[in-house]
A and B are shown apart, each in its own frame.
Chain A
Amino acid sequence: MHELSLTQSLVAIAEDHARRAGATVIRSITVEVGELSGAVPEALEFAFDVCSKGTLAEGAALILRRVPGHGRCGLCAAEAECGELTAVCPACGALAFELDAGRELRVMELEID
Chain B
Amino acid sequence: MCINCGCAGTGAASALHVHEHAHDHDHAPRAVRVEEDLLAKNDRLAAGNRTRFTRAGLFVLNLVSSPGSGKTTLLERTLRDLGPQLRFAVLEGDQQTSFDADRIAATGVPVRQINTGAGCHLDAHMVAHGVEAFDLPATDILMIENVGNLVCPAGFDLGEDHKVALLSVTEGEDKPLKYPQMFEAASLMIINKLDLLPYLDFDVERCKDFARRVNPRIAILELSCRSGAGLAAWYDWLAAGLAQKRAARE
Contacts and interface: CB of A to CB of B under 8 A. Distances in A.
> Which interface residue of B33, B121, B212 has the most chain A CB atoms within 10 A?
B33
Contact of A105 (B7, B38, B118): B38
Interface stretch (B10-18, B81-89, B152-160, B194-202): B152-160
B40 interface: yes
A87 B215 contact: yes
Interface string B22-55: 0000010111111111111110000000000000
Interface of A: 1-2, 4-6, 9-10, 12-14, 17-18, 21-25, 27-28, 31, 37-38, 84-88, 95-96, 105-113
Given A2-B151, A38-B154, A13 B214 contact: no
A1 B41 CA distance: 19
A23 B31 contact: no
B120 A87 contact: no
B17 to A, nearest CB: 16
Given A109-B33, A110-B32, A87 B216 contact: yes
B78 interface: no
Contacts of A38: 151, 154-155, 181
B214 A87 contact: yes
Contacts of A28: 29
21 contacts: A1-B149, A2-B151, A2-B152, A2-B155, A9-B38, A13-B36, A22-B6, A23-B30, A23-B32, A24-B5, A38-B155, A85-B180, A85-B184, A86-B180, A87-B212, A87-B213, A105-B37, A106-B38, A108-B35, A110-B34, A113-B5
Contacts of B120: 1-2
Contacts of B29: 27-28, 111-113
A2 B121 contact: yes
B212 to A, nearest CB: 6
Given A86-B214, A88-B213, A23 B35 contact: no
Contact of B30 (A6, A12, A111): A111
A24 to B, nearest CB: 5
B119 interface: yes
A96 to B, nearest CB: 7
Nearest to A31: B38
B173 interface: no
A113 B35 contact: no
B180 A110 contact: no
Residue from B39, B118, B123 with most neighbouring chain A CB atoms (10 Å): B39
Contact of A106 (B27, B37, B181): B37
7 tightest Cβ-Cβ pairs between the two chains A and B = A2-B152, A85-B180, A1-B120, A95-B216, A111-B29, A105-B38, A110-B32
